[in-house]
A and B are shown apart, each in its own frame.
Chain A
Amino acid sequence: MADTTKEGVSRRGFLSWLGLAWTAFSAAMAASGIALARFMFPNVLFEPPMSFKVGRPEEFALGVDERFKPQGVWIVKTTKEIFALSTVCTHLGCTPNWLSAEQKFKCPCHGSGYYVSGVNFEGPTPRPLERFAVFVADDGQVVVDKNRIFQYEKGQWTDPQSHILLS
């Protein structure tokens, strides 16, 4: 066996350097892998605004207002409150249709059905539609803020921001 100590690098020392080098190499590969994955998440989104005004509370008729469906909300007015329902089916994200004759939201993709309140009652959907934050701005208009979501199954529909109470 060759005597490696003569050259100043022992066998053991060489192996530990080798181990360090491989560790560093693997770490660098992993880091670049993570950086590459991060590259796929854009920093800036070119999407429509998440918060917008929809009109004064008294302008809405009782029932479901479909005017803001393109922005992703139904404004629902009952005798007690106004709330904003998300138009995204909680099953797989299709847009349900409002069937006024049957007084329900029905999703065309997999047949999920929701009451006016947004609570699910038929089909494969696991949970009710989500509600967005609504409040009355200084100028008396209702503002829908899609950044904040209220989920029924988490008991969030009692939150004061999840609806506007009508006196």
Chain B
Amino acid sequence: MPGLKDVMESVKESQVWKSVARNPLPSNARTRALAVLNNVFLHLHPVRAPQSGIRLKYTWCMGGLTFFVFLVEVITGILLMFYYRPTVEFAYADIIDLREQAPLGLMRELHRWGAHTMVITVWLHMMRVFMTGAYKPPREFNWVVGVVLLLLTLLLSFTGYLLPWDQLAMWAVTVGTNMARATPFVGYEGPGAALLKLGDINLVHSADDVRFALLAGRFVGEATLLRFYVLHCVAIPFVATILMAVHFWRIRKDGGISGPM
């Protein structure tokens, strides 16, 4: 009778296992290095890092948590898209069905509380970076990328706010987008907009200003719902993913995890 150890041993010797794992389980310096180097996900990390930088006490793991919660949002978001239709007719009912009818009935909760969590962790990550002076040379540009990612996080959450199509959604977005109406020069109620005219015709009015482009209409309606849906599910995550790649790449290129220079 082969013991468990023998079974494990034969699995590890099999062609299938070897083709997937490429290296033996990490046990010494060489295999630990290989484990990180040869894995596409782990190779975000260097092989070795200063202990001061990877202690929880120092980083609070806030950047990592933000990325993890982003992944949670992507996964739950994809699952929600299977049941949700972004139309005035169906949106609200589909949200109710997500709790009442959809199996597990938990995806919207995970997605919403995850979104709140991501906003908080992103702020705390920024605070940690500031408090340790980790934006100082040579990491200036990565801090700028981080600020854009912070902004994108807020925009992701804001565009998602409209999708349940309830009163909270409608009015939060109405108030939020009405600020765009007051943008100087490009919003029709902003200072300077009245100056842009040809003869008697105003060039900037309620049907061609920056808010109109956001809402795809003069007020929050069907077209707005679709537009926010696309921004929320595709456009902003697309940009955020690219910037995240830049952000992570630059951590490595700008001297690895921050520590005393």
> A residues touching B (Cβ–Cβ < 8 Å)?
37, 40-42, 45-47, 92-94, 109
Contact = CB atoms under 8 A, between A and B. Distances in A.
A41 B217 CA distance: 8
B175 A47 contact: no
Given A41-B212, A42-B223, A92 B175 contact: yes
B251 to A, nearest CB: 31
A40 B171 CA distance: 23
Interface in B42-64: none
Contacts of A92: 174-175, 178-179
A92 B207 CA distance: 17
A127 B174 CA distance: 19
B175 A94 contact: yes
4 cross-chain pairs, A with B, having the tightest CB-CB distances, nearest first: A93-B178, A92-B178, A40-B213, A92-B175
Given A45-B218, A46-B222, A47-B218, A93 B213 contact: no
A130 to B, nearest CB: 11
Chain B residues touching A, majority SS: helix
B217 A42 contact: yes
Interface of B: 171, 174-175, 178-179, 181, 207-208, 212-213, 216-219, 221-223
Nearest to B182: A92
Chain A residues touching B, majority SS: loop
16 contacts: A37-B213, A40-B216, A41-B208, A42-B216, A42-B223, A45-B223, A47-B219, A47-B221, A92-B175, A92-B178, A93-B181, A93-B219, A94-B171, A94-B174, A94-B175, A109-B175
A20 B149 CA distance: 37
A40 B207 CA distance: 12
A3 to B, nearest CB: 43
Contacts of A40: 213, 216
Contacts of A46: 217, 221-223
Contacts of B178: 92-93
B217 A45 contact: yes
Contacts of B212: 41
B28 to A, nearest CB: 53
Contacts of B217: 42, 45-47
A93 B175 contact: yes
Contacts of A42: 216-217, 223
